[in-house]
Amino acid sequence: MGKLYLVPTPIGNLDDITLRAIKVLQMVDIVLAEDTRTTQVLLKHLGLEKRLWSHHKFNEHAAVESVVETILGGETVALVSDAGTPGISDPGFLLVRTCLEHGVEVETLPGPTAFVPALINSGFSCDRFCFEGFLPQKKGRSKRLQQLLEESRTMIFYESPYRLVKTLTQFAELFGVDREAAVSRELTKKFEENVRGTLQELIDHFSAGEVKGEIVIVLSGKSRKSKHEADSDDEE
Residues whose CB is less than 8 angstroms from the CB of residue 38 and which lie 6 or more positions away in sequence, other chains included: 82, 83
Share of the chain above pLDDT 90, in %: 88
Residues 68, 87, single domain; the answer is yes
Angle at 119 between CA 114 and CA 122, to 5 degrees: 125
Residues 57, 149, single domain; the answer is no
Residues 49, 72, single domain; the answer is yes
What's the whole-model pTM score?
0.89
* Neighbour tally for 90: CB within 10 Å: 19
| Interatomic CA distance for residues 12 and 35, integer angstroms | 15
Residues 10, 101, single domain; the answer is yes
Residues 34, 121, single domain; the answer is no
**Among the listed residues 175, 174, 165, the one whose alpha carbon sits nearest the alpha carbon of residue 209:** 165
Q: What is the pLDDT of residue 91?
A: 87
Q: What is the pLDDT of residue 89?
A: 87
Estimate the share of the chain in helix, then strand, then coil, as percent rounded to the nearest 5. Answer: 40, 20, 40
Total number of domains constituting the chain: 2
Residues 156, 76, single domain; the answer is no
Residues 39, 94, single domain; the answer is yes
Residue 133: inside a domain, yes or no?
Answer: yes
Picking from 90, 108, 126, the residue at the C-terminal end of a domain is: 108
C-alpha 164: how far from chain center = 15
Picking from 42, 74, 108, the residue at the C-terminal end of a domain is: 108
Q: Grade residue 232 by pLDDT with cuts at 50, 70 and 90.
A: very low
Residue 236: inside a domain, yes or no?
Answer: no
Picking from 47, 80, 108, the residue at the C-terminal end of a domain is: 108
Residue 11: inside a domain, yes or no?
Answer: yes
Q: Tell me the H-state helices in the chain.
A: 19-27, 36-46, 60-72, 93-101, 115-122, 141-147, 164-175, 199-207, 227-235
**Among the listed residues 166, 162, 155, the one whose alpha carbon sits nearest the alpha carbon of residue 203:** 166
Residue 22: inside a domain, yes or no?
Answer: yes
**CATH code for the domain in which residue 52 is found:** 3.40.1010.10
Q: What is the pLDDT of residue 90?
A: 86
**Among the listed residues 163, 114, 156, the one whose alpha carbon sits nearest the alpha carbon of residue 138:** 163
DSSP symbol at 223: P
| Interatomic CA distance for residues 130 and 138, integer angstroms | 21
Residues 102, 133, single domain; the answer is no
CA atoms within 13 A on the CB side of 53: 17
Axis crossing angle, helix 199-207 with helix 164-175, rounded to the nearest 10: 160
Q: What is the pLDDT of residue 224?
A: 65
Residues 72, 120, single domain; the answer is no
Residues 61, 89, single domain; the answer is yes
Question: Average pLDDT in the 171-186 region?
Answer: 97
Name the residue range of residue 87's domain.
4-108
pLDDT tens track for 100-146: 999 999 999 999 999 999 999 999 989 999 999 999 988 889 999 99
**Does pLDDT of 75 surpass 70?**
yes
Residues 161, 178, single domain; the answer is yes
Question: Average pLDDT in the 157-167 region?
Answer: 97
Q: What is the pLDDT of residue 25?
A: 98
Residues 95, 21, single domain; the answer is yes
